[in-house]
Amino acid sequence: MEFERKRHNHTHMNIAPLVDVVFLLLLFFMLTSQLIQEPAIKLKLPESKTAESQKDEIKTILITKDGTIYFMDEKIDIKKLQSFIKNSLKDSEKDFVRIKADKDSNIGVLVAVIDEVRLAGVKNYSIATERNSR
């Protein structure tokens, strides 16, 4: 007497192509994120142990080593900075301005920029630093 065997149909989903696609996407995003750069103005920011990174749309003032001032990637004179800030901000009470000064720049220029930012009515501003890895 011959018994009939039950046939089991196992349906397996092959996930190897899915894993390949996920790794390719991961590689793509890792490589493209390395290509995103800050403005082309060279700055060496001072280091801080408590620095935090911000990725919001923030108006930025750059102060180079030789004292040149850039507002929103445009070279500007310190005398015109206050009016440029007033014109570019929608609400000076709530909008945010970030000041990035080279660590070798003149502290007098930094103080003058902070004064102009305050005179423009900006309540929220910060001085950018790099996180100290030590």
For the chain, the first-to-last Cα distance in angstroms comes to 80
Task: State the pTM of this model.
Answer: 0.57
Domain-located, residue 117: yes
Domain-located, residue 77: yes
Domain count, the chain: 1
* Domain range enclosing 100: 47-131
Domain-located, residue 37: no
pLDDT of the residue at 25:
94
Query: What is d(CA 99, CA 129) in angstroms, rounded to the nearest whole number?
Result: 9
Domain-located, residue 103: yes
pLDDT of the residue at 20:
93
- Cβ neighbours of residue 116 closer than 8 Å, sequence gap 6 or more: 78, 81, 82, 85
Query: What is d(CA 72, CA 74) in angstroms, rounded to the nearest whole number?
Result: 6
Domain-located, residue 113: yes
Domain-located, residue 70: yes
Residue 41 reports pLDDT greater than 60: no
Residue 54 reports pLDDT greater than 60: no
Residue 26 reports pLDDT greater than 90: yes
Which CATH number belongs to the domain containing residue 103 in this structure? 3.30.420.270
Alpha carbon 91 to its chain's center? 22
Pairing status of strand 96-101 against strand 124-127: parallel
Per-residue pLDDT tens for 90-125?
Answer: 776 677 888 988 888 888 998 999 899 888 888 888
Domain-located, residue 15: no
Percent of the chain with pLDDT over 70: 81
Domain-located, residue 14: no
pLDDT of the residue at 11:
76
